[in-house]
Structure 1
């Protein structure tokens, strides 16, 4: 077997390693089985006495929306890694998702599990980076296409650019006005 074919097979194996874990983690969130604290004696303690892992996992477990939305995103990432046409989009999304999971694990799980989970997620990030590195030529082409000749359609006077930060800030009020009916509907549905 040629060296290129062995490397190609290794990258394919890394893809399926990530596919397995992304779909597995996503499925555990969709079934609401990943988060939560099932030991009531922990939840009966004063919050200052509870390890941040249990506090975080309890809060994550209380939000069905959080579990479903992150679970769907992780499953989509895994599915995108399966197909050659969507591989790079999937690998870039996986990098983003796993980086966020790594931050959460470092912040909340090390007190209970040590660095076991951050090391596992770090290994998954490394696998994803190796996949992206393997396809670096395609990424460079895509980057050049995405960033080549990006500008506004029209030219503006220099002073317009000075007031744009203020206009950007004021846009928050415009969006608040336009989204008020949606907020009112959601509040009405929630009550």
Structure 2
């Protein structure tokens, strides 16, 4: 370690942070996909609903598909993105809502234990932002680019802007056509 520069030590620390975050997300995701996270015991299923605590109720609800698999695959794919230099920024930005979701879930449903997880998840968010900051030479120009105000390519008369709510409703109706067709086909088969 004596021959390493300050920059090398910092980069190594942040690489270790990436491995920690990736391992944590991958293990969370794998636990969901293998049925080791979410779900409740048979005893809890036999308990009257009014007697089931919020944590167990939330885990029962989260155990339903496709929610459980979506969360599991999201966590595993985000973990993989964190490991590669080319995708670390994307992995960081994808992990932020995952950490926040777990944090708010714990605050909402984990009576008594939430604060232990609060410190841990806040630390994960902190090191995620450290990794993003390490990549600032790529992140900041991208943020500037996507937040630049661009003038409208076309200008319309003011009265036409007043018709936008009706036009938006028309777009919504176009989006409903596949549902309508699906239901018509399904009803014709009955």
* The two structures share one fold, judged by TM-score above 0.5: yes
Verify the 8 A CA contact 2:78 2:94 in the aligned structure 1: yes
- The root-mean-square deviation of aligned C-alpha atoms, in Å, is 2.5
- TM-score w.r.t. structure 2 length? 0.85
CA shift at 1:13, angstroms? 0.9
**CA gap 1:64/1:112 in 2 versus in 1, 3 angstroms:** farther
Verify the 8 A CA contact 1:19 1:79 in the aligned structure 2: yes
Structure 1 gap ranges (5+): none
Structure 2 gap ranges (5+): none
Q: State the alpha-carbon separation in 2 of the partners of residues 181 and 122 from structure 1.
A: 47
Partner of 1:85: helix, strand, or coil? coil
CA shift at 1:76, angstroms? 0.9
Q: Equivalent residues in 2 for 1:80-91 (5 A)?
A: 80-91=81-92
Question: Which residue number in structure 1 is paired with residue 57 of structure 2?
Answer: 55
Higher fraction of helix = 1
Question: Which residue number in structure 1 is paired with residue 137 of structure 2?
Answer: 137
CA shift at 1:22, angstroms? 1.0
Verify the 8 A CA contact 1:102 1:118 in the aligned structure 2: yes
Question: Which residue number in structure 2 is paired with residue 15 of structure 1?
Answer: 18
CA shift at 1:134, angstroms? 2.0
Verify the 8 A CA contact 1:80 1:90 in the aligned structure 2: yes
CA shift at 1:52, angstroms? 0.4
- TM-score w.r.t. structure 1 length? 0.85
* Number of residue equivalences: 186
Which has more radius of gyration?
2
